[in-house]
Amino acid sequence: MRTFLQFTLFMVIALVVILLAIVLGGSGAWYFAWLVGTGMIVLITAAGGALLDAQDEHAAEQARAGAADA
């Protein structure tokens, strides 16, 4: 059942994309590039935030370990 729901979801997404391509015409490529670029910026920012959080946690663990040794 899950496979069928995924298939249905992807078919709906494909139909929406095809309809948007028909409506937008020649400017569709620009909108596609804008959406992909915006998505990439958001993903890279989220990855950077996760990396910074992991580095802060690692530094805090090292500081606690250093304080326990002293």
What is the structure's pLDDT at 28?
77
What is the structure's pLDDT at 12?
95
What is the structure's pLDDT at 70?
64
Q: What is the value of pTM for the model shown?
A: 0.57
Dihedral sign (CA 23, 26, 32, 35): negative
pLDDT tens-digit series, residues 17-28:
888 888 888 887
**Non-local CB neighbours of 31 within 8 Å, separated by 6+ positions:** 20, 24
Structural domain count of the chain: 1
What is the structure's pLDDT at 42?
97
- Domain region containing 52: 2-69
High-pLDDT (> 70) share of the chain, %: 99
